[in-house]
Structure 1
Amino acid sequence: MPQDARPLEKIFAGARLRRLRRERGLTQADAAAALGLSASYLNLLERNQRPVTARVLLSLADTFDVDVRTFANESDRQLQADLQEAAADPLLSTMELDRMELNELADAHPRIAEAFAKLYQSYRETTAATADLATRMSGPAAALGGPGAILESVRDALDARQNHFPELEEAADTLRARIGLKNRNRDGLLAAYLQETQGFAVRILDEEIMAGARRRLDFHGRRLLLSEAVPHVSRAFHMAVTLATLEQGALLEELAEAADLPSPEARKLYRIGLSNYFAGALLMPYDDLLQAAETTRYDLDRLQRRFEVSFEQICHRLTTLNRNGARGLPFFMIRVDAAGNVSKRFGGGIISFARSGGGCARWNLYDAISTPERYRVDAHELPDGMKFLSIARGQISEAPTGQPPVVHAIVLGCEWSHAGRIVHADTLTGADPSPVGITCRLCDRDDCAQRAFPPLNRKLEMDPHLLGASPYGFGDN
C-alpha cells in the first residue's frame, strides 16, 4: 500500500451536510436531487444514521465544489482543541466535560460549538486585557475581545476558506497575462506597469529617509517608496501588493464583507491578508507552481529559485494550493519568534494550534532560530497519535538602523502520511517521531522534562518525596 494510502473510515458528517445545504439555500429534496440521492437517504445522512460513502463525497465535490477533506472526522481538530481548552479552564473544569462529549458537540452542532469556543476566547482575551490594565493602572480600556481576538477572527476566516480564494487567483491570472509577467526579472515589468497605468513611480530610498518603514505608498507624490532594506527577492512582491490595493479594491472589499468579521479593524486586517494573497498568486501562478512542486517533490530551495521568492513566501503560497480538482499537498505554516509568539499561522484545519500560552519547546522550529538558513526536518507525534512532518528554517530580517536583526522560525508541515512525496523527508527514513504537544496546558504527557505548566484538565498532585521527569505531578482528572 502506498505510504499515503489509508483505509477510508466511516464518516458521519450530518451536521456539516445540513449546514452546507442551508448555506446554499436548498431544501432536502433539492439537495438530494442535485446529489443523485433520495430525499429519505439524505435525511438519514443528515441525522448521522448513515455514514457518508465515497460516492457521496465525490458527488459533493463535483456538485458543490467543496473539498471532501472538510467532511473527514478529523477535519475539526482546531475546533476540538478549542473546546478542550475551554473545558479545562478552572471556571468550567468542575463540570468534567470529557473529550468524547466535546467531540460529539463539535460533530452534531458545529455552529453552537464554534459559538461556545469564540465566547471562551473572548472571555480569555478580556480577562487578560483587564489584568494588564490593572497592572499598568493607566491607558484606555481594551476593546471588547482585545486585539488578540481580532487577529484570531481573521485567522479563523482564512481557515474557513482553506486559505484559498479562486476569485483572487483569477484576477491575478488576468493581470499577469495583461502585463506579460514571467518568472524572471519581474521588477522592471511591474514598475513600468505601475507607472503607465497608475502613474506611480517606484523609488528605492535609504533607510534613514524611510524612517524604519519598508513600504510606503505616497499618493501625493504618486510614488511607491521601498526601503533599501527590502531584499531584492521581495521587491516584486511589494509592487504586487500595491497593485492589489490600487486595482482590486472592490474585490477585496467584497471578500472582506463576505467573511462576516466582528469589527472594522478585523476587516482591514483581512484585506491586508488578501492583498498579500493576491501578490503571491501573481508571482507564483497556481498551475505553474503546482506542477513545479510535484515535479521537484516540493523541493523548497528549487521552488524559491524558480519563482524568485523568499522562503517565507513560497511556504505561504504552498498552503493555498487547495483548488478543487487540482490540489497540492495539505500544508500548514507557522512563523514564531524566540519567545514563542506566533505571528503568522495558516492551515488550522490540518493541525490544531494553541489559542493562548506558548507552544511546545520540543518542536524543532525553536532550534531553527539558533541556526538560521539551515533546514531542520523532523517527524513529530501529538498526544492524540497524529503524526506529522515539519520542515523548519530560521529566517533573518533586517531591522531599522540601531536595532538587532529580527530572527523568526518558519515551519512548513503536513501529515506524516505525505512524507514520501517530499524530498526533504528522505533523510528521515525509519525515524521514530518525537513526542510533542500543542502547548503544555493541553498536553497530557507526564514524562516531559520541559513541561512549563501542568495540564489544565488534570488535577495537580505534588509529592514532596518524589521528583519525576516533569516538575509537576498530576492525577487522572
Structure 2
Amino acid sequence: MVKFRTPIGARIRRKRIAAGLSQVALARMLGISASYLNLIENNKRSIGGKLLLRIGERLGIDLEHLSGESEARTIAAIGDLMAEPLMRGIEIEPQAVRDLVARFPDAGTALARLHRAYADATMEIETLRHRLKSDPLLSEMLHEILNRIAGIKSGAEILADIPDITEEERRRFITTINTEARELVPTTQSLLAYFDQTSARQRPVSPIREVDEAIIAHNNHFPELETIAEALRGEIAGTGPIAEQPLAAALERRFGIACRIGGSADPGTPELVFPDTTPRPARIFRMLRAYASHASAESLGQTMHRLELSTEEARGLALRALSSYVAGAIMMPYDAFLGMAEENRYDVELLSVLAGVSFEQAAHRLVTLRGKGREGLPFGFLRADRSGRLTKRFPLPGLTIPGFGHGCPLWPIYDAFATSGVVRQVSVFPGGGRFLLVARTVSKHAARFGQKPLTFSIMLACDVVHADRTVYGDGLDLGGAPVEVGPSCVPCPRLSCAHRQEIPA
C-alpha cells in the first residue's frame, strides 16, 4: 500500500502565479530558498507551523484552507481503502491520488464515505456472525427449526421409501409432518422478526466514529464554546481558581444537583456521586460538565446540530463530548493556558500541576488550541487501553492513525505501560512524515488494595520541525535516524518489520 502526501503544494503554486510572483520572489519574502519552495510546491516537503502561517499571509490564503487537513483525512481514508483485501491487485500511483483529491475533492470524499460504509458493514457482519454463535435466543430458534425440518424430512422419507407400511402408520406419519410444518411457521416468523429488528438497529456509520469524524472535521476547536466557557467561568469563580466546594454549591443551588463522595446514587434524585478514589480534577471536571450541559443546553444543541449527525445516539454522544469540551475550557481558559504552554515549552506534566488538572486533561486541551490567529503548537492525540485498543484519537496531516482497533506496536504509547515516566521517540511514518511522539500512562482513579487500577496511555505527536519548541525535544537527536513505524500492521507497507502481528494488505 502507498501512503500519500497532502496535495497543498499545487494550491500554493496556483496562488503564487495568480499573485504574479516568481518562486524566487516568494521564497525571498518567506526567508527560504527557491529550491525549498519548489519542493513544497511539488508536494515533496511537508510544511506547518510558522512557515505555513507566513505563506498564508503572503498569498492571502486562509490557514484552514491552506493546511490541507481535510485533504489529508481524505487521502488517509483512500490509503485505508487501498489496503483492503478487496483491492488486491489494483495499483494506484501517489500522484493520481493527489490529483484526484486536489482537483475533485468531492470525489475523494465520496470514496472515503464508501470505504467507511464498507468498514461498518463488515463490522456488522462480524457482529451478526458472533451473534449467530453466541445469542441464546437465536440458538434456541435455529435448533427448533432444524429439529422440525429433520422430523419432516424423516417422515417424508419413510412415506416415499417404504411401500408396505399400514394405512394407520401412513396417517400417523402424515399427521406428524403436518404438525411439524404448522409449528415451523411461527418459529420461522419469529426468526425473521428478530433479524428485521436487528436490521432496523443497524446504522450506516457507528455513532462513536461518526461523532469522532465530525469533531475532527471541525479541527477539534469550537470558538462559540470557548466564549461560553469564558462566561461560565466568570459566573462560577469570577477571576479566581475553580474551587470544588463552591462549584458543588452552585450546581445544587442553580440546578438542584447534589454532589457527594462515596455511597451509591439514588435513582430518584439528581445527584453526582463520586467513588472515594476519584481524583479531585476528575470530580471538578464532571461537575463542570454537568453545569455546562444545564447552563448552556441551547447553545450546545445548536453546535451539535451543525455537526449534521445521522442518529439520535450520535447526537447524544456529541452533546456529552461538547459539554466535556466546555468543561475543559472552563478549567483551562484559552489565552491563559496557551500563554502558560508557550512559556513552559509545552511541558504537559508541569502544565497539569500549574492548571490543577490531570495529565490527560492538559494534553487534550493542547489539541484544542486551534483558534484562528492564535494557534498553539499543532498536536495529534491518542489514548490506548492496556489491551492496545485506541479509545481516543485526533490525527494530523502525515500522522496516519487507524479509525479503530490497535496501532503500531512500535509507538511509545505502548512502551509507556512499562514505565511510570514519559517516553519520547522520533518516528518516521511510511509517507515520510517525521514526528516527535511523547507518551505517558495515566490512572483514572486510585485503586484500593486488591483492585486493579484503570490505566490508559496518552500520546501526543507533533511534526519534528516543532520539536525544539517543546521540552521533549531537548537532548534528542532530531536529525538522526528515526524509528520506522506505521499506522497499524494490516495497512503498513513495511513488509520486513520484525514486530508485525498481522498479514499485510
2:498 match: secondary structure: coil
Bigger CA drift: 108-117 or 289-298?
108-117
Distance 2:288 2:397 in 1: 28
- The answer to whether 1:176 aligns with 2:247 is no
Which TM-score applies when normalising by structure 1? 0.76
1:92 aligns with 2:87: yes
Q: Which runs of 5+ in 1 are unaligned?
A: 1-7, 17-47, 211-215, 457-477
Q: Secondary structure at the match of 1:378?
A: strand
Paired AA for residue 187 in structure 1 = E
Query: What is the match of residue 199 of structure 1?
Result: 256
Could you say which residue in structure 2 is the equivalent of 1:45?
none
- Which residue pairs with 1:135 in the alignment? 130
Could you tell me how far apart the structure 1 residues matched to 2:85 and 2:203 are? 20
Name the CA shift for 1:251/1:131 in 2 (closer, same or farther; >3 Å). same
| Structure 2 match to 1:268 | 316
Q: Indicate how the Cα distance of structure 1 residues 344 and 10 shifts in structure 2: closer, same or farther if over 3 A, else same.
A: closer
Change (3 A) 1:146 1:229: farther
Instruction: Note the alpha carbon deviations across 1:199-226, whole angstroms, 9 max, x for none.
Output: 33321123xx25xxxxx9x6x5343322
Determine if the alignment matches structure 1 residue 158 to structure 2 residue 197: no
In structure 2, give the amino acid aligned to 1:441: V
Look up the equivalent residue of 1:302 and give its one-letter code. L
| Structure with higher helix content | 2
* Maintained 8 Å contact 2:489/2:502: yes
CA separation of 1:399/1:113 partners in 2, compared to 1, >3 Å: closer, same or farther? farther
Residues in 2 aligned to 1:70 and 1:298: alpha-carbon distance in whole angstroms: 26
The residue that corresponds to 2:103 in the other structure is 108
1:402-441 Cα distance to aligned partner (Å, 9 max, x none):
7522221100111111000101221314553211001122
1:238 corresponds to which letter in structure 2? Answer: R
Change (3 A) 1:151 1:115: farther
- 8 Å Cα contact 1:335/1:342 also seen in 2: yes
In the alignment, structure 1 residue 228 sits paired with structure 2 residue 276: yes
Native 8 Å contact 2:236 2:242 kept in 1: no
Q: Is structure 2 residue 105 aligned with structure 1 residue 57?
A: no
Q: Which moved more, 1:68-77 or 1:271-280?
A: 68-77
Counterparts of 1:345-424 in structure 2 under 5 Å? Answer: 345-349=393-397, 351-371=399-419, 373-398=420-445, 404-424=452-472
Change over 3 Å in CA distance of 1:242–1:382 after alignment to 2: same
Query: 1:163 touches 1:347 (CA, 8 Å); kept in 2?
Result: no
Counterpart AA for 2:432:
G
More displaced stretch, 307-316 vs 224-233:
224-233
> 4+ residue runs of structure 1 moved beyond 6 angstroms?
13-16, 53-56, 59-62, 399-402
Match of 1:187 in 2: 244
Deviation at 1:14, TM superposition (A): 11
Contact 2:347 2:471 in 1 (8 A): yes
Counterpart Cα distance in 2 of 1:129 and 1:9: 36
Distance 1:353 1:285 in 2: 29
The one-letter code sitting in structure 2 at the alignment partner of 1:12 is R
The code of the aligned residue for 1:278 comes to: V
Query: Alignment partner for residue 144 of structure 1, among 202, 208, 223?
Result: 202
Q: Report if aligned partners of 1:123, 1:145 keep a CA contact under 8 Å in 2.
A: no
Deviations 1:256-295 (A, max 9, x none): 1111112111111111110110000001000100000011
The separation in 1 between residues aligned to 2:252 and 2:403, in whole angstroms, is: 43
CA contact (8 A) 1:330 1:350 kept: no
Post-superposition Cα deviations, 1:370-392, rounded to whole Å, max 9, x if no partner, equal 22x31001111111111001110
Q: Deviations over 1:26-49 (max 9, x none)?
A: xxxxxxxxxxxxxxxxxxxxxx9x
Query: TM-score normalized by structure 2?
Result: 0.72
Amino acid of the structure 2 residue aligned with 1:118: R
Deviation at 1:86, TM superposition (A): 0.9
Alignment of 1:332-347 (within 5 A): 332-347=380-395
User: What root-mean-square deviation, in Å, do the aligned CA atoms of Structure 1 and Structure 2 show?
Assistant: 3.0
Between the two proteins, the alignment pairs up a number of residues equal to 399
3-state DSSP of counterpart to 2:475: helix
> What one-letter code is carried by the residue in structure 1 that aligns with 2:369?
L
Change (3 A) 1:93 1:125: same
Which residue is equivalent to 1:121?
Answer: 116
> Is the contact made by 1:350 and 1:414 (CA closer than 8 Å) also made in structure 2?
no
Task: Report if the CA contact (8 A) 1:14-1:108 is conserved.
Answer: no
**Is 2:293 aligned against 1:245?**
yes
Cα shift at 1:180: 2.8
The answer to whether the Cα contact below 8 Å between 1:395 and 1:407 also exists between their aligned partners in 2 is yes
Other-structure match for 1:257 = 305
Gaps in structure 2 of 5+ consecutive residues: 1-6, 16-40, 42-51, 139-194
Percent identity at matched positions?
32
For 1:5-44, what per-residue CA distance to the aligned partner results, in whole angstroms no more than 9, with x for missing partners?
A: xxx984427999xxxxxxxxxxxxxxxxxxxxxxxxxxxx
Larger deviation, residues 108-117 vs 348-357: 348-357
